[in-house]
Chain A
Amino acid sequence: MDFNDTPQEAEFRKEVRTWLDANAPKHLEDELKRASFGSNGLESEDPIKASKAWQKKKAEAGWACLHWPKEYGGGARSAMERVIWSQEEGPYAVLSGLFTIGHGMCGPTVMEWANEEWKERLLPPLASGEEVWCQLFSEPASGSDLAGLRTRAVKADDGSGDWIINGQKIWTSGAQNSDWGLLITRTDPDVPKHKGLTMFFLRMDSPGVKVVPIKQANGASGFNEVYFDDVRIPDDQRLGDVGNGWKVSLTTLMNERLSIGSGMSTGFPELFKFCMDMEIDGEAATADSGVRSKLAQFAVKQSGLKYTGMRAISALSKGETPGPENSIGKLVAGATMQELAMYALDLQGEAGVVWDEDSPQNGRFQAMLMRSPATRIEGGSDEILRNIIGERVLGLPGDIRVDKDVPFKEIPTSGKAKA
């Protein structure tokens, strides 16, 4: 057990620092540190342009997609080297938010399921940030029950082999900025729900695709509805066999939980600093026993997540595969963030209701409060994650699934009527 860098790790860290020192967009550092939760919040520059410029610079120097093979534009770095990079990249990592879904989920799925020609076409510009991807999975009637999706893909009747798509997706992060989308559809409603799905990728500027941003509870619009009206996709943009889409989607989902869950902040350092600066009855808030008790409980969750992550990296660096136990990252971080934000506002008293730049931490706690409900739902709700831990880590029996062997078209879709 050793927390210190090995000589090789120390050497790599030095190399990263030297490069970042000479190349990082230092003029944005303060803005990025202040960035409100859930956006990169740049005021001085177009955030999309700034993100793409930083990604391109990293790609040219070999620092993009450190977990990908070199032939597709990645860095082919070890798990430990990736961790060291992210520790050193610090606030500039916020600029990578635009690419999280592409690099963490769509890219690995394309890498596993597309043919060589497409991999060479798609992956390098994704790694270098020239092209942005989104993931078209959730639908209004199927969130946690992902396989209940209803967007239809049928063969065109003109003999071209193309597919015609009709339907609607929802909660699509970043669709408004994306060049490509990973799309799961239903190709056969006559078989049980998991068996009739097929995966495609498509240009987001294909005729018939309409993206409508959703205004969220926190006022932002990171998610979108995406409508498909007779959208045509060539058959060679299919990933995996017809009817095998569920298996393809598992590649994406497994990577999603890893990607979303790893290294999430709970907001504890900000809360601690706020309590150090704030006074209660003439003393620092951290001298109050009630405050201490609350802070300590947040602190041990934050550090527990941090060291759980390090244990996972230790296992990864010994060649072990990350498993379903990684579900605890998002489960703990999401709920903690929400509770912590509520507590930070409580400490502010009646002033906690005000959400502006003069609020403590520039209104960051108010922003967290209003964004955190989504964190507990996106990429697997708290309840789904508890099921994963219960069933796949602890080996408890699965939930009873009454729709498992029923043809999709016969599954009831509301309390009142059948499909």
Chain B
Amino acid sequence: MNLDFSDEQKQLRDQVRRFLKENCPPAAVRAILEGDDQYDAKLYQGLADLGVLGAAIPEEYGGVGLGHLELCVVAEELGRVLAPVPVASTVYLGAECLMQAGSEEQKQAWLPQISAGEAIGCWAINEGTGRMKPAKVALTFDGKTVSGSKAPITDGGIADFAIVLAKEGSDLSLCLVDLSGSGVSRETLDSIDPTRGQVKLTFEGTPATRIGSAGDGWHIATQIMDRAAILIGFEQLGGADRALEMGRDYALERMAFGRQIGSFQAVKHILADMYVSATLARSNCYYGAWALSSSAAELPIAAATARVSATNAFQHCAKNNIQVHGGMGFTWAFDCHLYYRRSNALALTIGSLSTWESLLIERMSAGNVEAAA
């Protein structure tokens, strides 16, 4: 047994961290927050050139052919700097879905482009308010085209293709939609985290091809979201870790009552609790990384565990980072709110915290409690 990344994987982490330090400073995140662009195109191309987007894509489809552990390492670093790029939509969800369930033709058409940074994807599952359930899907697929609306869709405004959950007869199917096709409209939505754009996507007889078998849509979507939950968990972990660091650094620098504020137990204990939540999340995410990389039978439970724990940690660290900073933490000038925004947006991506809490217990009830205990 060895619950740790290898030396090579740690080297990759250092390499990606150096690259992001230079190419994704807080100013780059703010440029997206305050400007009109929906993502940092230059940074995204840089990540593609570095081989990051294709890390887990096989070489025969234009990828680098490393694996999911490497992708976990990268995800943590992207989360740490709040990289304003559509990696989760395109790689963790889009490429994963095509690799796991796509036809040979679909793979050939999109995976090389994804790896090269030439095609951005989006994951169009959600409809309406509340926990997403099969019965809520109203968008239809007639075998050739899709019609209906999906919202909110992360990166839907910049995406070249969408993976859409649709009603096909009385069943649900997943469809691949080329967004340059006819009858596509996109309506930009304001959100709590403008560094990750949200839109409403509407289709009117837009050409689409099915992914996997008819009626298998919900099943495939669930499997892909489990896999993505672990990768997004690593992004949350990176964000939590950075928020903790920011709080720690400020507590060392800021003086009050003639002392560094970090010497007050009231502040010290807030930071200790942030460390505790980040550490529990890290350990659960490592377990998830192993399950993902080995496609272990425990994957569904490991995914929900990592996801719940990482959501806890990022939200806890981001909100308490502001608390440690005091009033300064609530100003536009400090970066605390960037982490607070992202922590809350990621907590809702591919299903809210309560959805994943519920999934975890459903899965444990169905079988193997020992896996988590």
Contact = CB atoms under 8 A, between A and B. Distances in A.
Contact of B263 (A273, A291, A400): A400
How many interface residues does chain B have, given as a range? 35 or more
Interface in B248-306: 248, 251-252, 259-260, 262-263, 265, 268-269, 271-273, 275-276, 279-284, 286-287, 289-290, 293-294, 296, 304-305
B315 to A, nearest CB: 13
Contact of B1 (A299, A314, A396, A399): A314
B369 interface: yes
B265 to A, nearest CB: 7
A2 B290 CA distance: 6
Interface string A1-21: 111111001000000000000
Contacts of A325: 279
Interface string A381-392: 001011101110
A311 interface: yes
Given A307-B284, A396-B268, A295 B361 contact: yes
A301 B276 CA distance: 10
A310 interface: yes
B170 interface: no
A3 B290 contact: yes
A223 interface: no
B373 interface: yes
A328 B276 contact: yes
Contact of A272 (B293, B294, B358, B373): B373
B309 A300 contact: yes
Interface string B32-74: 0000000000000000000000000000000000000100000
Interface in B345-373: 354, 356-358, 360-362, 364-365, 369-370, 372-373
B358 A299 contact: no
Contact of B248 (A83, A276, A394): A394
B269 A386 contact: yes
A386 B273 contact: yes
A403 B286 CA distance: 44
B373 A303 contact: yes
B280 A304 contact: yes
B361 A299 contact: yes
Interface stretch (B2-10, B21-29, B182-190): B2-10
A268 B373 contact: yes
Contacts of A391: 268
A268 B364 CA distance: 12
A332 to B, nearest CB: 6
Interface in A290-315: 291-293, 295-297, 299-308, 310-311, 313-315
A366 interface: no
Contacts of B283: 303-308, 310-311
Nearest to B248: A394
B268 A387 contact: yes
Contacts of B296: 3
Nearest to A84: B1
A1 B269 CA distance: 32
Given A300-B305, A396-B248, A397-B260, A387 B358 contact: no
How many interface residues does chain A have, given as a range? 35 or more
A293 to B, nearest CB: 5
B373 A310 contact: no
Contacts of A319: none
Contacts of B287: 3, 303, 307
A159 interface: no
Contacts of A286: 361-362, 364-365
B308 interface: yes
Contacts of A293: 354, 357-358
A296 B286 contact: no
A311 B360 CA distance: 23
B115 interface: no
A396 B279 contact: no
B149 interface: no
A331 interface: yes
A385 to B, nearest CB: 8
A296 B364 CA distance: 10
Given A295-B364, A299-B308, 15 more contacts: A1-B69, A272-B373, A289-B358, A291-B361, A292-B361, A300-B360, A304-B279, A308-B282, A311-B3, A314-B2, A328-B275, A386-B268, A389-B275, A394-B248, A396-B251
Interface of B: 1-6, 69, 244, 248, 251-252, 259-260, 262-263, 265, 268-269, 271-273, 275-276, 279-284, 286-287, 289-290, 293-294, 296, 304-305, 308-309, 312, 354, 356-358, 360-362, 364-365, 369-370, 372-373
Interface of A: 1-6, 9, 80, 83, 268-269, 272-273, 276, 284, 286, 289, 291-293, 295-297, 299-308, 310-311, 313-315, 317-318, 325, 328, 331-332, 383, 385-387, 389-391, 393-400
